[in-house]
């Protein structure tokens, strides 16, 4: 068993080891902590490095806690869904109306163009607004914004995953049953009150 802990700890990063022997010490078995301490000594991590890593970890943990405490309620998310749906439908209606007059084609093509416009506006609206401003129109109204789970500004990939996650069936109501909706979970993001960051 002791050998298993030594092997496991030898594969950990310096930061993970320091976290185990300092911040998360009580979350591990005594043998695991001893193996981590032994690995720290074996790597000759000096006390200054250990203290610096420990302080950085504490700051990260505090930031995550602050983000958790600032996450908005399901009711706020419902307001976002309703307001953003109105904005999305208005934009899609205008573009569909314009395309109907510009397409002199059979009804099936106009219908297909309408569906394509609806989908493109839905995805484009959320992607562009959240990438550019960290919020949609509804989030401007409620003074909230999108952040990563650790409280940072999301990148293009995070927002893309978040946007595509909106296509998951029942995503729009998933936040009523879980703290963060499906599109939050798969993108590692959440919506928080703006005044908290």
Quote the percentage of the chain above a pLDDT of 90. Answer: 39
Calculated CA dihedral for residues 169, 174, 177, 179, nearest 10 degrees: 150
**Sign of the alpha-carbon torsion through 79, 145, 15, 61:** negative
CA distance 34 to 39: 9
Owner of token pair 């936040």:
175
With pLDDT > 70 as the criterion, what percentage of the chain qualifies? 94
Taking every pair of Cα atoms in the chain, the longest distance, rounded to a whole number of angstroms, is 76
pLDDT (tens digit per residue) in 41-100: 888 877 677 777 778 877 887 887 777 788 898 889 999 999 999 999 999 999 888 877
pLDDT in tens, 88-135: 999 999 988 887 776 666 667 777 888 899 999 999 999 999 999 999
* Range 156-169 burial, b when 16+ CB lie within 10 A, else e: eebbbbbbebbeee
pLDDT of residue 33 exceeding 80: yes
Comparing 168 with 24, the larger pLDDT belongs to 168
pLDDT computed for residue 105 by the predictor: 60
pLDDT value of residue 113: 80
Provide the Cα torsion 81, 82, 88, 92; round to 10°: 130
Residue 149 has pLDDT above 80, yes or no: yes
Q: Per-residue pLDDT tens for 18-27? A: 888 887 888 8
Place of tokens 């950990």: 12
pLDDT-based confidence at residue 142 (cuts at 50, 70, 90)? very high
């Amino acid at each position: 068993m002791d050998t298993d802990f030594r092997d496991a700890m030898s594969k950990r990063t310096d930061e993970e080891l320091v976290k185990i022997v300092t911040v998360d010490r009580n979350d591990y078995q005594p043998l695991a902590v001893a193996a981590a301490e032994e690995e720290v000594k074996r790597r000759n991590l000096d006390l200054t490095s250990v203290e610096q890593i420990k302080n950085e970890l504490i700051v990260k943990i505090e930031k995550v806690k602050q983000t958790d405490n600032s996450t908005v309620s399901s009711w706020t998310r419902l307001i976002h869904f309703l307001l953003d749906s109105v904005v999305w439908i208005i934009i899609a209606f205008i573009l569909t109306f314009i395309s109907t007059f510009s397409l002199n084609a059979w009804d099936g093509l106009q219908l297909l163009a309408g569906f394509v416009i609806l989908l493109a506006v839905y995805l484009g609206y959320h992607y562009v607004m959240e990438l550019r401003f960290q919020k949609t129109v509804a989030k401007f109204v409620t003074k909230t914004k999108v952040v990563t789970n650790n409280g940072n500004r999301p990148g293009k990939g995070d927002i893309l995953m978040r946007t595509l996650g909106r296509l998951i069936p029942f995503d729009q109501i998933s936040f009523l049953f879980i703290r963060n909706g499906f599109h939050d979970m798969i993108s590692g993001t959440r919506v928080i009150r703006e005044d908290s960051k």
